[in-house]
Amino acid sequence: MSKTTVIAIAGASASGKSLFASTVYQELVAELGSDGIAILAEDAYYRDQSHMTMEQRVLTNYDQPSAFEHDLLKQHIRDLRDGKAVEMPQYSHTTHTRLPESIPVAPAKVIMVEGILLLTDPSLREEFDISVFMDTPLDICLLRRIKRDIEERGRNLQSVTEQYEKYVRPAFFDHIFPSKQYADLVVTRGGRNEIAIDIIKTKIRQLLAE
């Protein structure tokens, strides 16, 4: 295969996108080599909020397209396709800021991109060769988000539920669920669906053998 294949993994917050992408990565990286497979996270392209007070940051809507620097993500996908390494930003969900250190990502034959709003943006959609939608029930996503955000993102039950009711749930119905129509593959049961993981791995191997 000469061209780069870009695979989008979209779906609700805490639907299992990161787990799915990292599982496919871990299970293929040894076999494909260092130039074989890479991951970009849409979350890394959140706009920096360091100019705001913490109170303003907490009240910001992070579930709308304008919260992301999609132009930069698109440029990075194009650079990787052109064989150029990129510096993926690092973002902290705890401080709502971009961190000083970026992460170098080398060009690879397969680039997985994972994030909530990837399939909502027509110009980003043009970049994807294969699109996957994680179709995990919203109540399961909420339970997982509460646990993850408290354990890993510096939140408490009240802050998670307020943000969820105000922004996260509406965004699912306004933006994320409607974007499911653009998926080639719909994955149920989250990031541990082994059959779905095997299907994507098989497709990747097939593309690389072409």
Residues that bind ligand ADP (CB under 6 A): 11, 13-19, 144, 148, 189-192
Asked if 38 and 21 touch (Cβ cutoff 8 Å), the reply is no
d(CA 159, CA 199): 38
Measured from the CB atom, the residue of 14 and 130 that comes closer to ligand LLZGTKA7 is: 14
- Contact status: 96 vs ligand LLZGTKA7 (CB under 6 A): yes
Q: Smallest gap, in angstroms, from Cβ of residue 43 to ligand LLZGTKA7?
A: 5
* 86-88 vs 103-105, strand pairing mode: antiparallel
**Nearer of residues 6 and 14 to ligand LLZGTKA7, judged by Cβ:** 14
Kindly state whether residue 138 participates in binding ligand LLZGTKA7, applying the rule CB under 6 A: no
The residue whose two tokens read 């109540």 is 139
- CA-to-CA distance for 90 and 128, rounded, in angstroms? 22
Considering CB distances under 5 to 8 angstroms, the limit depending on partner class, which of ligand LLZGTKA7, ligand ADP, none binds residue 89?
A: none
- What is the residue-wise DSSP string for 123-135? HHHTT-SEEEEE-
Q: Establish if 68 lies at the interface with ligand LLZGTKA7 (CB under 6 A).
A: no
Return the sign of the alpha-carbon dihedral for residues 37, 73, 50, 146.
Answer: negative
Half-sphere exposure of 28 (CA within 13 A, CB side): 28
Binding segment for ligand LLZGTKA7 among 13-21, 31-39, 105-113, 119-127 (CB under 6 A)? Answer: 13-21
Nearest distance from C-beta of residue 3 to ligand ADP, angstroms: 27
Residue whose entry in the numeric block shows the structure tokens 């910001």: 60
Nearest CB to ligand ADP, comparing residues 43 and 109: 43
14 binds ligand LLZGTKA7 (CB under 6 A): yes
From 10-18, 28-36, 127-135, 200-208, span contacting ligand LLZGTKA7 (CB under 6 A): 10-18
The interface with ligand LLZGTKA7 within residues 103-132 (CB under 6 A) comprises 116
- Spatial separation of the C-alpha atoms in residues 48 and 99, rounded to whole Å: 9
Residue 13 makes contact with ligand LLZGTKA7 by CB under 6 A: yes
Sorted by sequence, the CB contacts under 8 Å of residue 120 that are 6+ apart come out as: 65, 175, 176, 178, 179
